[in-house]
Amino acid sequence: MKRILIECGWLVTMDEKIGDFRGAQLLIEGSRIAAVGRNLNAAADETIDARDKIVMPGLIDAHIHTWQAGLRAIGSEWLGPDYHKNIHANLATRYGPEDNYLGNLVGALGQIDGGVTTILDWCHNLTSLEHAERSVDGLEESGIRAVFAHGTAKPPTKPGELPYTHVPHPRDRIEALRNGRFASDDRLVTLAMAILGPHWGTYEVAEQDIRLARELDLLSTSHATRKPADQIAPGGYTRLAKAGLMGPDHNLVHGNYIDDEELKLLVEAGASFTATVLTELHGHVAEPVTLRVRKAGGMPSIGIDVEPIVTGEMFREMQAALLHARWASLRDNAAAGNPAPQHIPVKSREALAWATIGNARAIGLEDQIGSLTPGKKADLIMLRANDLNLFPVHDPLFSITDQAHAGNVDTVMIDGVTRKQGGKRIFPDAVLNKRRAELVASVERIMREGDFTLKVA
pTM here is 0.98
Give the domain range for residue 157.
59-362
pLDDT at residue 319 is higher than 80 = yes
Average pLDDT of 349-359? 98
Closest alpha carbon to 272 in 291, 295, 246: 246
Determine, yes or no, domain membership for 370.
no
Average pLDDT of 412-422? 98
Determine, yes or no, domain membership for 371.
no
d(CA 144, CA 314): 15
Same domain, 162 and 64: yes
Same domain, 401 and 262: no
Nearby residues of 299 by Cβ (< 8 Å), 6 or more positions away: 272, 293, 353, 354, 357, 358, 361, 362
Average pLDDT of 30-37? 98
CATH number at residue 412: 2.30.40.10
Same domain, 51 and 64: no
Same domain, 26 and 70: no
Q: How confident is the model at residue 454 (pLDDT cuts 50, 70, 90)?
A: confident
Instruction: Identify the sign of the CA torsion 91, 97, 103, 107.
Output: positive
User: Taking the chain, what is the end-to-end CA distance rounded to the nearest angstrom?
Assistant: 58
Phi/psi region, residue 222 (left: phi>0; alpha: psi -120 to 50; beta: rest), is beta
- The mean predicted confidence, pLDDT, of the chain is 97
**Residue 409: predicted pLDDT:** 98
pLDDT over 90 percentage in the chain: 96
The predicted-structure confidence for 231-245, as pLDDT tens digits, reads as follows 999 999 999 999 999
The predicted-structure confidence for 95-138, as pLDDT tens digits, reads as follows 999 999 999 999 999 999 999 999 999 999 999 999 999 999 99
The predicted-structure confidence for 407-416, as pLDDT tens digits, reads as follows 999 999 999 9
Determine, yes or no, domain membership for 457.
no
Average pLDDT of 237-258? 98
Determine, yes or no, domain membership for 235.
yes
Same domain, 263 and 137: yes
Same domain, 134 and 79: yes
**Residue 158: predicted pLDDT:** 87
pLDDT at residue 27 is higher than 70 = yes
Instruction: Identify the sign of the CA torsion 328, 330, 332, 335.
Output: negative
Domain count, the chain: 2
Element spanning 149, H or E: strand 145-150
Closest alpha carbon to 389 in 373, 408, 376, 406: 408
Determine, yes or no, domain membership for 132.
yes
Q: What is the DSSP letter of 393?
A: P
**Residue 456: predicted pLDDT:** 61
pLDDT at residue 457 is higher than 60 = no
CATH number at residue 221: 3.20.20.140
Element spanning 380, H or E: strand 380-384
Same domain, 269 and 167: yes
The predicted-structure confidence for 429-444, as pLDDT tens digits, reads as follows 999 999 999 999 999 9
Same domain, 24 and 169: no
Average pLDDT of 245-259? 98
